Every structure is written in C-alpha cells, then in structure tokens.
Chains A and B, each alone.
Chain A
Amino acid sequence: MTRRGYLARKIGLAVITILVVVVINFLLFRVLPGDPVRSVIGRNVRISIQTQHALREQFGLDKPVFPDQFLDTVGQWMRGNLGISWSLRRPVGDVLVAKLWNTLLLIGLGQILSIVLGVALGLVAGWKRKTAVDMAALTFSLIAWATPTFWLGIIFLAAGSTWLGLPTGGIVTPANVGKPLYTVIPDLARHLVLPTLTLTILYLGEYMLIMRSSILEVLGEDYILTAKAKGMSHWQVLRRHALKNAMLPIVTLIALNLGFTVSGAIYIETVFSYDGLGRMFQTALVKQDYPLLQGAFLLLAVSVIIANLLADVLYTYLDPRVRAT
C-alpha cells in the first residue's frame, strides 16, 4: 500500500472513532445517577419545585433522551455551537478554549522538558550500562516514576513558596490580571516553575526507562556489531544506526501521553490551583453539566485520536516496514 493509501485509511478510522465516541459519551453521561438540575443548584439553595421544573424544561431534560435530546445536541454541534454551560452560563466553546490554552502551556512545557531530558538520560544510561552513571540514572528514574503526584507537588509547593518566594498557585498575580499573557511573561514564568518542575520529574522517569530499554535492545542487534566492525565511532553508531530504531517506542509513548495530557494533569492542577482542563472536567462531572461535559469529552477524544494519527504518520517516516506493508 502506498503511503497515501495508508494515511487515508488511518484518517477514515479516526473519523469513525470520533463519531462512535460522541455517541457513547452522550449516552454515558445520561445513565449517571442523579438529576442534573439538582447537581447544578446544589443542596443548600432555596429554589422552588416549580422553578426546578422550568430549568429542566429549559435544559431539554423533559424530553426523551433518544432521539430528541440526542438530535438537539447533534444539530447544535452541526451548526458549530457547543451550547452553553448549565453551571457557568458561559458558551462551552469559550470555556474550553480558555482552559485548553492554560493546559497546553503547562503540560506542553512539562512534556517537552521531560521528553528531552528523559530521552537524553535514557540514551546515556543505555550506552553506559552497568556503570555508576547508569545505576544513578536508573534509580532516579524509578523513584521519580513511582512518586505520587500529589505528594511531590505539595512538597515542592511548601518548599518553593517558603524558601524561594515562589507563588503558591494560580497563573498570574492579581495585579497582572486582564493583561495579555505575553506582556507578563516573567510573572507567568514564576507561576509555572513549580508545576512544570513537578510534571517534568514525574514524566521524565517513564521516558528514561523506555528509552534505556529500547536502546539496550537495539545495541544487541547484529547490525550494530557490523557497524562497529566497520570501524565506525561510538557516536556514529549511535546516531546512524541505534537512535532511529530505538525512537519507535518513544514516539508511541509521546503520542499516547500528548493525547491524554489534554485531559489535564488533574493532580498537578489541583495542587497548584492551576485552572486547566483537568479541573474543568472534574467540576463538569460533579455538576452533571452535560453541555460542558460533552464539549470537553469531544475535545479529549479528538486530541487523543489526532495524537495517535500523528504517531502513525511519523511511523511512515521512521519505520520503512510501515511503508512497505
């Protein structure tokens, strides 16, 4: 099959997957126990029974789930409208864009750092296996990977705010609220230090371990021995022959992680009061805010699927076998 045919098939599959996810999510939220109107208003608000009925009507909850509510939702989406959040009374699209930007900033930074550092560390450890360097890197990575997110975050929060004077949460200081983010970069950076550091350490271990075992496997191959026998330097062997093959599992892992990071690093966001998508998912679920939930899960599904699609595309460059099949 040609590369074009391979891609067309993958894209077709991705579109079908998104459609299936949309339908499943729609039904899934509606089998949750409880009454969305009640969840939105909470337990301690004085709202008459009649007004609750009016809200139920306004939200379309008085109609049958299928087909009425389903068609209403799909029809709205077709018009490019994700609806209005029941709990926040803001357009779902606006909420998602704002939180997505926050999340991408934090998670993107953390991911890039952990990928670069993790891969480099894994490479060195694999190359220098069974030396003190390898042992140190391995121990550090295992500990980092096994550390509970919440715990590490709280430790950094306490230490960073006490000794380094770093902020305990949020994205900007109140004085900078309302200004465009690029004009307050130093302040933004101060707020990002601790959560990014936490995120980097937590993901770094995983990348390092995968990279190390991958490079070890590749280094045991016959063609590496052949390359060495041809008299190539260590660096040449590593760069020309080992690295490209060893990167395959890492690409898969990066794609998987990137897809899921859109769901936000909920623990990190909670510890550092960072208002990203993860927190929003949680609130929407607790409030049974269907428009917000549906929009959020659509975004999540699309990101995971696109990340996988990108991985598939990358494979066609990295792995000749994919091109050949």
Chain B
Amino acid sequence: MLNVGWEGAPDTLNPAYAFLTEAYTIFDLVYGTLTTQAATGEYVGYLADTWSHSDDGLTWTFTLKDGIKWHDGKPLTAADVAFTLNAVMADPDGWATVSNYVSGFTEVSATDDKTLTIVTEYPVSNMEYRLSWLYLAYPPDFEGFETAEDLQNFSNFELIGTGPFKMSTFDEDARILILEANDDYHGGLPTIDQIVFQTYDNADALIQALKVGEIDMVLDVPFSAFAALSDMEGVKPVGLPGSYFDELIINSVPADHDPAPNKNPALDDPAVRLAMAYAINKEDMVDVGLFGLGVPGDTIVPPQLGGGYWHNDDIQDVPFDLTKGNEILESAGYVKGADGVRAKGDVRLEFRLQFPSDNSYYPRMADSMTGWFGEIGIKTTPEAVDPDSLYAATTPVGDYDLVIWGWGPDPDPDFILSVMTSDQFVEGGWSDSGYMNPEYDQLYLDQQQAIDREARRDIIWEMQKMAFDDRPYIVLNYEYLLRAYRSDRFTGFIETPTWGIESFQSLLQVKPVQ
C-alpha cells in the first residue's frame, strides 16, 4: 500500500467537468487514452498499438492493442473509443474540460473492433498530444445525458476505465480516495496493491506526516520546505525541471484598442522594455524567490516541452547589466530627474507593479525587481492584488502597467502560444498582455496545421523569437516540480516533467524496498 499526501482533492471524478490537477492525477491512473507521453517527451501508443495518417493529414487510422479490458471485465472495442470522441464532439459545452482537444474533428468511427478512424477538417499537427488527454469514458455510464448540466452533475464515483488501477473508495467528506491494482491490466500487474490519497490542508502537516511515516509520498512540496527534507532520514526529495514559468507581463494593449488601455505610454517604447530586461537579475530571482529551485527562463515555450524539441535554443537571453540598462534609457531620451526617476517630456518612468496575492514568493520577486528598476531610473510600486480582480483588470481591459504572474503550459506548445494571439484578448480569453501581432497570429494558425514535425518546429521557433523580441512577457524562470517520498520504503519511481513521479507508468512499477 502506497500512502500519498496532497494539498487538494479532486473536485469531481467526471472528466467532463474536472478542473483540478488532482482529478487528472486520478484519471491518469484509472482511465486509458489512445496515446501517452513517454518520459522522454515523445508520444507513444497507450491503448493504440499503431497509427498512421493519410498524405493530406486529414484521415487518421488507429489500431488498438490486444487484450484491453474495462475494469468490469468487458473488452474494450474501437466503438467504445469512438463513443467518447463522438460524445465530446456532439456536446462540446457539456464536455467542458476536454472539448478543445477535438476541435477540427469532423467524423470518428470504428471500422471494426480494433480499428478507429478520425477525419478532420484541417490537418491537426498535434493529434497524438490531443489524444493523450482524451480519457476514454465507459460508454454505459455516459449515455443518455440530455443537457450539459445533467452530464456535468454526474458524479462518476465508479470511474470505470482501463488503467492499471481501479477505483475502490472515494469519500468526499473524509477526503480520502483509494485505488486498487487492476489484476486484468493489459500492461502487466502493478507491484503495489493499493494507493491511498489523503488530503492535508497545510504544508507543515503534510511534511510532518511524511516525517512520521503516516504517508509515503508528497505531491505538493512548498519551495520553502524542500531544503529541510534533505536532512530527513529515509526521505528523498525530488526536484525536477518543470514547465511552470513565472513572467513579468508588460501591458502591450495597442493604444487604439477599444476599450482603450489604461497604462503608462512609455511601456510601448521598445527601449524601455529592453532596459527593463537588462535590469532583471533572473539568477538572483530564482535564489530569492524560489530558494534556488528553478532555472532562469527566456521564452514562453519551456525546455521541458516535448523533451526540449520545441524550445528555441538559438535565443540569447538579455544578461543582467544595469549600466547597459541606464545607457539604453539615456540614449532613448529619458533623463533622470532630481528624485532619480527618468522622464521624457511629460512621461515619467513610473509603473504599477502588481501580482496575485495568493502567491507566496511574488512579493519577494517584486521587491527585488523594484530595487533593480530603481537603479536604472524606473520607479515601480509593488502591490498584491486579489487574483480575481487582477484577472478582471487585465483581460480584456488592460488597466495595469506591469504584472508578475505564471503559467503552467501543456506538454504541447499550442496552448501557451495561443496566449499571445490577438483573438484571446476578449472576455473569457487567455491573453493578459494584450499583445497583438497579425504576423504572430498567422504563424499560430500555421503551426496548428503543420503536420510535418520539423516544419512545425520552425514555425514555433519563429513565434518564440517574435514574442521574445517584442516582450509582451519577460519570462523570469522555469520552476522545478517538487516531490518527496519515503525512499526507505519505496523505490523505482519514473520522473517526468508533466506528472512528477506519479504518472501511471511510474506507479505501475514502483515497488516496496526489500
């Protein structure tokens, strides 16, 4: 039995309406998908054995592996797979959390028990990635919902899937979830018979529970507690390069946008942006903000995506150089006043610097930044803002100057690239910088349809360069993913940047220490 402690609990076990990562951790262990991401970042078959696409990239054919059974013993057929995909396509609003993954799909059908065909409207460049998030629901449980609301209200406590673990108990009020090994799993028998997930409401208790041996594994380790774990006997802390990044958002909403942004116009000056980039000591920020548990960042596509394939390695980051920062502003005509703040005409380099109040290390980062900016004659006033208000002030209003915030990109770069597109700067959209560049927007559409992997990479590299040079974001760092486990009890974990040490592949092979 493996006891896992975490700081949350699944919001629901219904894949149509699960928003919390805890739910996805469970889905990954219990459900199956056609494809899955290997530790190297590449996509490999999970329930699918082989697949191919037509030359025009519009028709995909998948062949299922043999011997796959649902947890109730029934065999999985291609028609079962088609069921979920068709359900999502038919009711995209009901299947709120996954419908993005079928956009562009026109027809999904099973040609026989083992073969599935997907026809798309345009060539889908990231098909394998999309299918890795489309959990295959058990058809009898998901039939017959008349409205989106009915579907979303379904609790799905039985959670029948095809994965290596099956549902045993979920007590929403005791917040304990128990999975047990699936003896019929097509990929071999798990070594551990049970996994117990238990919720703790604060990190101190979680660490204490690990220390006294009440739990064997912690999925949420705060940056501040990580160092102390190294001294703990029988405990192994794991810090993995992750894909979560923190950034400085520079208000890039065009002045002629409707509604008009409320910002300091100096932010539109590329010289000011470049000077700010020179005035940020990213190394120091990782040390001070993240206790050294991260690396300085440069582009919006972190090196962990796709095993490093998508990250533009050619980009040379701007070094920390206050003298250079001062020179740039000086030659751009910003003159230091008596109070040390630079100004050009009426425009003073004085910005609001906001960050969401639910983050514990942004205050330190904002303080450091304010210090460095002060040395190049830019005055910033740090201010913690409630995340809801901050969202309301950014998208699609643009009432801010500078904001520190973060993103957890998907394993595929598509989503994080979409955050910089113009049509996301609307109510409910994901763009907070208000960056608008028609050329970038076009490249975004191109990469979605570039079915040749190398061609797609070239486009994505170009987009990164564009966003890097225009600086709607100054990417500050890529955070480590922190985990810890009792190494005196368990061994054999696989480390991945997406799932930490708790991927289904990892927990399938974890075994007790002899």
Contact = CB atoms under 8 A, between A and B. Distances in A.
A243 interface: no
B311 to A, nearest CB: 19
Contact of B171 (A41, A87, A168, A178): A178
A170 B175 contact: yes
B93 A51 contact: yes
Interface in A201-254: none
Given A38-B391, A49-B426, A49-B429, A177 B169 contact: yes
A257 interface: no
Contact of B17 (A34, A38, A39, A89): A89
Contacts of B307: none
A34 B389 contact: yes
Contact of A168 (B103, B212, B407, B428): B212
Interface stretch (A116-124, A269-277, A295-303, A306-314): A269-277
B494 interface: no
A31 to B, nearest CB: 12
Interface stretch (A7-15, A52-60, A68-76, A140-148): A52-60
A325 interface: no
B148 to A, nearest CB: 6
Interface residues of B, number: 54
B107 interface: no
Given A51-B92, A88-B12, A89-B17, A45 B176 contact: no
A32 B388 contact: yes
> Which of A46, A53, A171 has the most chain B CB within a 10 Å cutoff?
A46
Nearest to B207: A168
A115 interface: no
Contacts of B391: 34-35, 38, 43
Contacts of B199: 170, 273, 275
Contacts of A98: 172-173
A87 B172 CA distance: 13
A21 B427 CA distance: 32
B201 A154 contact: no
A27 B216 CA distance: 46
> Which of B97, B152, B198 has the most chain A CB within a 10 Å cutoff?
B198
Given A55-B93, A168-B214, A170-B198, 19 more contacts: A32-B388, A34-B386, A34-B388, A37-B428, A46-B410, A49-B426, A49-B427, A51-B93, A89-B152, A98-B172, A157-B204, A165-B212, A168-B208, A168-B209, A270-B201, A273-B199, A273-B200, A273-B201, A275-B199
19 contacts: A34-B387, A34-B392, A42-B20, A48-B92, A49-B429, A51-B92, A58-B152, A89-B17, A89-B153, A98-B172, A98-B173, A157-B204, A161-B214, A162-B208, A170-B199, A272-B201, A273-B201, A275-B173, A275-B174
Interface of A: 32-35, 37-55, 58, 84, 87-90, 98-99, 102, 154, 157-158, 161-162, 165, 167-172, 174, 177-178, 269-275, 279, 288
Interface of B: 3, 11-12, 14, 17, 19-20, 92-93, 96-97, 99-100, 103, 148-149, 152-153, 155, 169, 171-176, 178, 196, 198-202, 204-205, 208-209, 211-212, 214, 386-389, 391-392, 407-408, 410, 415, 426-429
